[in-house]
Each structure stands twice: as structure tokens, then as C-alpha cells.
Amino acid sequence: MAKVQFTTQALAKNLSLTPKAIEEIQNMGIPAELTPEGLEVEALANRPDLYSLQGFVRAVQLYLGKRKPVDYPVLKPEKIHRIIIKPEVAEVRPFTVGAIIRDLTITSDILETLIDIQEKLHKTIGRKRKKCAIGMYPAEKIAFPLTFTAKKPKDITFTPLGATKTFTAEEILTTHPTGKEYAHLLEKAQKYPLFIDATGAILSMPPIINSADTGQITIATKQLFIECSGNHLPTLHNVLALLTTLCAELGGTIHGITIEREKETSITPQLTYTKKPFSLEHANALLGTNITEKELPKLCEKMGHRYEKGQIATPPWRIDIMHEVDLIEDIAIAYGYEKLIPTLPSFATTGNESDKRKQERKITDLLIGLELQEITTYHAITEEEKNKYHLKALVMEGAKTEYKYLRPNLLIPALRVYHENKDVSYPQNFFEIGTVFDEQGTECTHLLITASPGTITHMQQVVAYLTEQLQFPLVLKSHPTPLSIPGRSALIIHNKKEIGYAGEIHPSTLKNAGLKMPLSILELDITEFLNQKA
């Protein structure tokens, strides 16, 4: 997902931002909001064609019926416009595709558009250049044909963009800002990928950086050479289709490039419409609609497709169509979600809560009867809590907050709650039923009951009450437990199995936790009880 801003000024030539138009844009499933500067649009991950103004306008005008789907002809490549892929590059970045754009007057606005779309595509479907890196070059400065190969880092020297002297490949990765940012992508590579022109000059070292000599487009650029390289060929085709159709929308003509890989040759970009079989019957059955075949061509065109008897042809810039259902959704959007009638089917099913929930509710009802307040706490504890109470807990890797471990018990979160409320009126008697985790990630459901002020006698009474009411025998066995006063703490036994503990918390623990009132607790694994048939 990407947030895209379009200024009113830029939109004015193509779209007037009337309330009706905004509503239609939202009906397309494009979250759009008017801002003082213009329009802010959220392009969802499946629609990178909306990242540019021209792509957005194309989609909206089609939806509004103000234009028809067009073809993007690819002119036959000139003989020298070839990229030869060498086997050396197979291990590090095996694929590339490319195109030449002519007749495009690169104004500063267009230059900005091209740089912006490149950045957005890198970030999103390019997976931060890992899957696809884009290079744009002034074609007139390049001697075709090109070679896409790989060389040992020590054999690579050129002047990267943003520098005035030559760097070795290693220097680029360790000292150049862009180099440092993307160095991890070449971490394990023995050889680094390179585009080299017919004179032997290095054009770029993808996915890192272009050469300063031949790798920077400016408003003086007459012809554009675009290449995409990466490890996932379908993505490269998609990205090139998005870029070249954008250039065509800007006024350019698209010229092919021959890609030679071992004995195979192919021409890119491939901008034909892709046909997929489409069954109106399926569509109506899945959507619950009665769309007629007569309506179909118009509905298809609203989304950029063309309908041809039993088939839908998808334009090259709609890279999200994988299956007939994607087309069915497009038909639904074109038809208008607002016209779909929410319906409940007539078959009957019986509802049922889980036994776990029913069993939990038995406990909850009893404890509320004992005037306990339910609390509900985070499933995580902080590093500080883990260390303070010497706990073993499972780490949540890379956690962005202070809560870094999964809670191994409910007592620690409860102490946090007591601290939070230490100046609120007492008694403060709590309970919580919740999931706890051990270091192996095993999950159990615990029940915690606390009384402040409270004594171990209080907990004995609660244990006796629960035993009687739940028909779940619980016996206290005097035993020292951590944090409690010796002689006033016990293990809780169910059918000879230790399932919990009870105790009067030691004053030193309370003082250390910043608490001022006596506290007694019991904590119990109730997983077995919850597993009983409710």
C-alpha cells in the first residue's frame, strides 16, 4: 500500500474533483481524501498502476466511461538494441528486461514523475530492490548492444551516481550512501551484476547504483533506456509494463529490446492484452447478481479490460489478475458494490460456543459473585519485569515496544495493575483468566485470583469454594513458593498433579514492587478444567 498525493493543479487537466467524482473514486475501492493541496489516494498493494498521476487518471477516466482501453504498441527493436545475458550473472541476479522510449520530451515534471514511480515500484513490488531493480539511462549516451554479466568485486571500478571520482565495488558498498543501504542484497554474492555497453563502459551495478557517466537521466535526455533486473522474471515484466505504459501515457513511443539468454531470444516489453476464459454464469453465481452478457463489455471497459465472447482480455498494466475471480471482482466493482443487495441465505445452522468459553464463564460467574473485579492485561511482559523476577520467558523477536517477552504467568501483569492503582481505594480484589506461555511456546490457560488486602486464609476459602462449585478437586499443600511468606504459601494440587500455587506475598516483594497493601494470590492452570465437556 502506498499513499500518493496528486495536486489539484496536476489533476485539473484531466479530472475535476467534484464530490460526485470523489464518490466514484471511492466506489472503485481507492481510498481518496481531499486535502488542501489536492487529493490523497491510498493505492492498495494490488494496484501499483495507481502510483502515478497518469495511471490514476487512466483508471478513473476508464471507470467514469470517459475513455476506452487502448493498446500500447511496441515498435520492432533496432538490430543493435540487444541485451546479452551472460551465464556469470545467473547466480546473483539472473533476469533482465528492457525497453527504449522515444519521442518523450522530458520536462522537469516528467523527470520527477519518472523518479517518483521508480522509487515507489522499488519499495513495493520490487521488495526494496531485492526482487526487481530499475535502471533508467539516456540511451543516446550508450553504445548498444549491452551485456548483462557479473564480475568479481575487485575487478569493478566506475564513478557511481552522486560521486565525482571512481570507486571500486567494495568502496561503493561500504562508503556510498546508496551502496551502504543496499549492500545486504549482494552480501553472499561472489560476483556482482553489471550492465556493460559495447565500448566496455559500466552502465550500472544493479541493484545498487548507476554510473554517473551514462546512468543519469535529465531534461536533456532525448531517448530513454529502461531496464529491470532481478530474480523473479514475472515481476520484471510487470514492472516494465507499468513503466513503459506510463511513458506512453506521457507521450512517448515504446521500442522493443531483444534479450538474448544462452540460445533463447525474446523481445521486451510484452504489452499485449492477456486473455483469460470468463464465465458469466460463475460470476453471477459467486456474486449473487443477475448481470447480463449485454452489460459485460461496458463493465469490463470500466476496469480497463476488453470482453470478447467468453474471454476477458486484460491490459498489461493490470498486473493483479491471476485468476477468473480477480475478473469477477472487477465486474463487481464496475457494477458497483453499492448496488449489491445484502442477503441472508435461508438454510439453518445451530450456533455453539466453545466448551472453553462455557467453562470459563462458570468460573467468571462465581468470581464476580465473590465481588472480584476482572482485569485483562497484555500477553507480554517487559525485559525489566523478566529480570526483576528472574523469569524464563519466550522472546518476541524484534519487538518495537518495551514488552519483549510472552508472559509466563498472570501474576507479573497483575503486580503491574496493582502498581498502577496503588492509590485507588481498597479492597482491590482481582481475577484474570488468560493464556500464558512457557519457553517452548506451549500455551496454557491460567486463572489468577488476588486479594489486597488479603491473607492466605482468604485464598484457602476461595480454593474450597471453587472445589465445591466447579466439582474440580483442588487441595492446598503447604510448600514454600517464590515471592511468598514461608509458612503462608502452598502448592495447589488437582488429582495428585501440581497445577498452581497460593500465597501471601512477602512484604519485601511488595516493597520492591512499589506496593503498600498486603496481597494474597493464587494462580492455577485451568487448561484441564476448560477441556472438560461443558
Partner 1 sequence: MKNALIATLSTHERTLISHLNKPYTELTEATGLEEATLVKTLLSLETKGLLILKTTKKTLIDTGVNGIRYARTGLPERKLLSILKPHHPLPLLEAQKVAGLSENEYNVSLGILKSKGMISLDQGAIVLTASPAECMKKTLEEQLIEKLPLVKETLTPELVPACIALHKRKDIIELKEHTERSYTLTPLGKELAGTTIESNVLEEVTPELIRNWQGAKQFRAYDLSLPVAPLTGGKRHFVNEAIEKAVRIWTDMGFTEMTGTMIDNEFWVFDALYTPQDHPGREMQDTFFLPLTRPLPETKLIKRVQQAHEQGIVGSTGWQYTWSPKKAQQAVLRTHTTSLSARTVATLKTDNLPAKYFAIGKVFRNETVDWSHGFEFYQTEGIVIDEKATFCHLLGYLTEFYTKMGFEKIKFVPSFFPYTEPSVEIQVWHPSKKIWLELGGAGIFRPEVSAALIGKPIPILAWGQGFDRIIMDAYKITDLRDMYRNNLKQIRTIPRGGLHG
> Shortest distance, CB of residue 19 to partner 1, whole angstroms?
14
Q: Which is nearer to partner 1, 82 or 237 (CB)?
A: 237
d(CA 533, CA 404): 35
d(CA 388, CA 276): 62
**DSSP 8-state class, residue 78:** P
> Shortest distance, CB of residue 382 to partner 1, whole angstroms?
12
Q: Which is nearer to partner 1, 285 or 464 (CB)?
A: 285
> Shortest distance, CB of residue 78 to partner 1, whole angstroms?
31
> Shortest distance, CB of residue 163 to partner 1, whole angstroms?
31
d(CA 303, CA 314): 9
* Cα–Cα distance list, 163 to 129, 142, 170, 177, 183 (Å): 21, 20, 15, 11, 17
Other residues' Cβ atoms within 10 Å of the Cβ of residue 380? 19
Q: Which is nearer to partner 1, 244 or 445 (CB)?
A: 445
Q: Which is nearer to partner 1, 264 or 420 (CB)?
A: 420
Q: Which is nearer to partner 1, 177 or 441 (CB)?
A: 441
> Shortest distance, CB of residue 42 to partner 1, whole angstroms?
10
> Shortest distance, CB of residue 439 to partner 1, whole angstroms?
9
Angle separating helix axes 355-369 and 456-470, nearest 10 degrees: 130
Contact 253, 101 (CB under 8 A): yes
Phi and psi of 361, rounded to 5°? Answer: -65, -35
Contact 230, 236 (CB under 8 A): yes
Long-range contacts of 26-31 (CB under 8 A, 24+ apart): 27/333, 27/336, 27/337, 27/338, 28/59, 28/60, 28/63, 28/333, 29/333, 29/337, 30/56, 30/59
Contact 91, 193 (CB under 8 A): no
- What would the grid cell of residue 488 be? 503462608
> Shortest distance, CB of residue 275 to partner 1, whole angstroms?
13
Other residues' Cβ atoms within 10 Å of the Cβ of residue 402? 11
Q: Which is nearer to partner 1, 74 or 433 (CB)?
A: 433
Q: Which is nearer to partner 1, 90 or 368 (CB)?
A: 368
> Shortest distance, CB of residue 131 to partner 1, whole angstroms?
7
Q: Which is nearer to partner 1, 61 or 274 (CB)?
A: 274
